[in-house]
A and B are shown apart, each in its own frame.
Chain A
Amino acid sequence: MIRIKVKNLNKKFKIGFSKNESFLSRIINFILIKEDKKELQVLKDISLEINSGEYVGIIGKNGSGKSTLLRVISGIYKNYTGEVETDGKIISLINIGSGFKYRLTMKENIYLVCSLFGLTHKEIEKNFNSIVEFSELQNYVNTKMFQFSSGMIQRLAFSIAINSYPEILILDEVFEVGDNSFKKKSREKIKELTNKNVTVLLVTHEVEILSNLCNRIIWMNKGMIKEDGDPGEIISQYS
């Protein structure tokens, strides 16, 4: 089954668009029509198909368009040309911990982030225990999260993501979190998910993960796909 289908995807950003422009200067610019805008093409004519159960690693230099591609696929950037079709529920973990409100307790945060991922109240209640168990934070359920260490926050975010019934799991450089035993556990869990036909898309720079876990690598360079295929060869070229 095809989970993600991208065809001739082009994505441009307008840069030189200064973000913090005030009301007045916007109006003046509008009247004088003087605004300089440069277009930066971040993704150039990308086409790919990803099937269910695939474990895809995306590599490339900084600024090669990896994160933009992930954001387009997960539906965060909606303004592009070309076709992007996805089939299945997408759970994206792009900036780790960004849905959390740190003055609330862990329990309240689990409910909040799960509903952001589109789970209903009942589903969250059902999932709650497995999330807490997986994160190994049973003793802190009613602790406010500003007191958590960064490792704990990452572990929680990760546990929520993989226990929210993903069908497409998108991870942006957040794969290896926590201590060694947690890393091992999350590897196994993700392996288990891919066996259940979940598609995993992963951006990382760590060659070891790519060669051991992924069954397909996409190498991006300057907004284009340079190589796409078997891990072994691509990784040896890349590094």
Chain B
Amino acid sequence: MKIEKLTKIINLSTQLAISDFKLKNEGSFFGLLWYVFNPILLFTLLYFVFRNNLGNDIHYYSLYLLLGILMYNFFQSVTSESTRTIISENNHLIKSINFPRESLIIAIVLKNIFSHIIEIFLFGILLIYFGLNFLNLFFYILILFLFCLFLIGISLILSSLTVYFTDLDNVWNFLTRLLLFVTPIFYVIENNQTLLYVNYLNPLYYYIEIARDVIIYNRFPETNMIIGSLCFSLIFFAIGQIIFRKYNKKIAELI
């Protein structure tokens, strides 16, 4: 891809993300403060729910749980938005202006990254409260980069498939809920062989586990986890590009 086209895509994606961001906060009473309130409310809720009963055998269970949930939420909101963006939110736009349509997807990722980073920042404060080394969060930038490649890839796939399967958003809603329980977010997986094998095929597992290892447990992640996450990022990103490019030809006349 030419540099010129790439900068064009990035320019447009940023502008789309800014507009979407403004739209989302338009007229809300607390405005930007919601981006701080939401995670704090979530923290408090989780704290009270899981205070005594669960997760006693997991070290730093509250942090373990929270990081998993934050990353899952990021994944969930990006993918579910991308099942809607082409067919219901921007169909008129696509039919009247020729612009690089990948930007719609990248804009979704950019918009959600903003709130995700605020959440991770607040998570850093919690780390300090628990007396852990918050400098480990800087490694999260690398993980986030790989995670975003994966997200862009899967969103490109989803958004091009929605053109053919109109109710993919419902199917996807179910699948993400399934993922919430299959991925070790609430529990530890090591004791359960079947689930472990299932999770070797689950990209989310890799990113979440690596992030936990690095940030909470202050240790270098296992090599196979690193290789796995790299592979998932690159494979999904590449397949996403191929599928999107193929269907992009027909999108305008099918919506």
Contacts and interface: CB of A to CB of B under 8 A. Distances in A.
B253 A79 contact: yes
Contacts of A118: 8, 12, 99
A101 B98 contact: no
Interface stretch (A109-117, A186-194, A203-211, A213-221): A109-117
Interface stretch (A18-26, A53-61, A177-185, A225-233): A18-26
Interface string A1-35: 00000000000010001011111001000000000
Given A78-B249, A116-B12, A23 B98 contact: no
Interface in B16-72: 16, 19, 22-23, 26-27
B97 A92 contact: yes
Interface stretch (A43-51, A69-77, A127-135): A69-77
A112 B19 contact: yes
Interface residues of A, number: 34
A99 interface: yes
Contact of A22 (B16, B92, B167): B167
A194 B152 CA distance: 42
Contact of A76 (B15, B95, B166, B254): B95
Interface string A104-144: 10001001100111101100000000000000000000000
B11 interface: yes
B133 interface: no
A94 B254 contact: no
A220 B81 CA distance: 41
B97 A76 contact: yes
A103 interface: yes
A98 to B, nearest CB: 4
B93 interface: yes
Given A115-B12, A118-B8, A104 B19 contact: yes
B93 A116 contact: yes
A17 B166 CA distance: 13
B98 A74 contact: yes
Interface string B128-172: 000000000000000000000000000000000000111110110
A90 interface: yes
Contact of B95 (A21, A23, A75, A95): A95
Interface residues of B, number: 32
A10 to B, nearest CB: 14
Given A76-B96, A104-B22, A120-B11, A21 B166 contact: yes
Interface in A83-104: 90, 92-95, 98-99, 101, 103-104
B165 A94 contact: no
Interface string B164-197: 1111101100000000000000000000000000
B164 to A, nearest CB: 7
Given A74-B98, A78-B252, A92-B97, 7 more contacts: A17-B254, A79-B250, A90-B98, A98-B93, A104-B26, A108-B19, A121-B11
Interface of B: 8, 11-12, 15-16, 19, 22-23, 26-27, 92-99, 164-168, 170-171, 248-250, 252-255
14 contacts: A17-B254, A20-B166, A22-B167, A23-B165, A78-B252, A92-B97, A94-B95, A94-B97, A95-B92, A98-B93, A99-B97, A104-B26, A108-B19, A116-B99
Interface of A: 13, 17, 19-23, 26, 71, 74-79, 90, 92-95, 98-99, 101, 103-104, 108, 111-112, 115-118, 120-121
